[in-house]
Chains A and B, each alone.
Chain A
């Protein structure tokens, strides 16, 4: 691991919750303004997180806590690999592992809403996994390596070679960041429909850990967005931050323009986008490699 990698991992581990809380605070304020409301304070997600850790835990079994902890651990772990400059494939597999632990936690409590949530989470994984894996393949085709530190040492930003992958990845990012559709298992808006499904039976600090995992995951996902804009020039970091800000704003906008998209629509659309945007880009990229 390089010195830069070590520094990046330390910053990631220490600051991710604060950065992600601020980002979702901005997102909540922007969303409120789009709806003609005043909206909460900027650090509201941070207050929510701290509060959860001060609450009592009520749990029907002990295994739930362990599974949620494992979920949180793997989410942090996958991000750490990414920021250390490790293998993108490994990052995605560790992230899937983390999701699987959360689904197991939901199944372990044997509650109706948790089960619906877990099933929807599985469907949702089925919708976005092909695209995230394709993106990793795209990085390999474009740079000849799965390693993040190799990927960022290109001359030209990868967005030029991989616009299709970028569109596809942004599409599944809406799902990954729990924005839209509204009836996703842990969507921030699904509160009344399936009572947050997947996390429905978590309470207090245990729920806090699942929220914490989500914050680390958010930073990782935005990191991957940034990866499309990184080159070996240090100034590219600025472009990456601007790109992340634009993508975040688009996420809020999409969330507010399509407030009633359902998961069935997601499933169809995600695969279509994967096929046309990701697939076409993949074909072009591999043909270009052969020439």
Chain B
């Protein structure tokens, strides 16, 4: 049986304007009814398979986002919902905004929109389910373990570093 038949979802509001959150809630209401796909809004990272993040990450909640992500058991996928969660959106240049969800944790699916529409959210979740199945398959074979937020931070730092060095080398040349 595939894990995607029972995806439990955790919704976290970063620094969203609540537009996306209302749409997320709308998709659980009768009109869109995501429970059709077996999706349950759990509110508990330890029970969740999908981490649905709305709004950008700011300097106050970055540790919260990391902690939620680290508490989720493997296999798991992260869904950035709305343009702010994708790259910071309209708040991008604010002094306290770090950027999208991918500035602190690895993101699997980006769902753009302002506010993101329920149809788009459901599309994004369905796409995330395929990734979830692939991850579960790899995990069964012992080939996969998702990065912790600390490992991800290192990866980003080293990537920035290497880019920086490459840039330096270019300049030197």
Contact = CB atoms under 8 A, between A and B. Distances in A.
A204 B73 contact: yes
Interface stretch (B43-51, B56-64, B110-118): B43-51
Nearest to A36: B30
Contacts of A54: 3, 136, 140
B35 interface: yes
Interface string A25-57: 000100010011111110010011011001111
A203 interface: yes
Interface of A: 28, 32, 35-41, 44, 47-48, 50-51, 54-58, 191-192, 195-196, 200-204, 207
B33 A57 contact: no
Contacts of A37: 30, 33, 35-36
A39 B33 CA distance: 7
B68 to A, nearest CB: 12
Interface of B: 1, 3, 5-6, 8, 30, 33, 35-38, 40-44, 46-47, 49, 71, 73-75, 136, 139-140
Which 9 pairs of residues, A with B, have the shortest CB-CB distance?
A203-B46, A56-B73, A47-B5, A51-B6, A47-B6, A56-B74, A37-B33, A48-B6, A195-B44
A16 to B, nearest CB: 19
A76 to B, nearest CB: 23
Contacts of B44: 191, 195-196, 200
A32 B73 CA distance: 29
Contacts of A196: 42-44, 47
B114 to A, nearest CB: 25
Contacts of A38: 33, 35-36
A35 B30 contact: yes
A196 to B, nearest CB: 6
Given A44-B5, A191-B43, 6 more contacts: A40-B38, A47-B1, A57-B73, A191-B40, A192-B41, A207-B47
Contacts of A32: 33, 35
A39 B74 contact: no
A35 B75 CA distance: 32
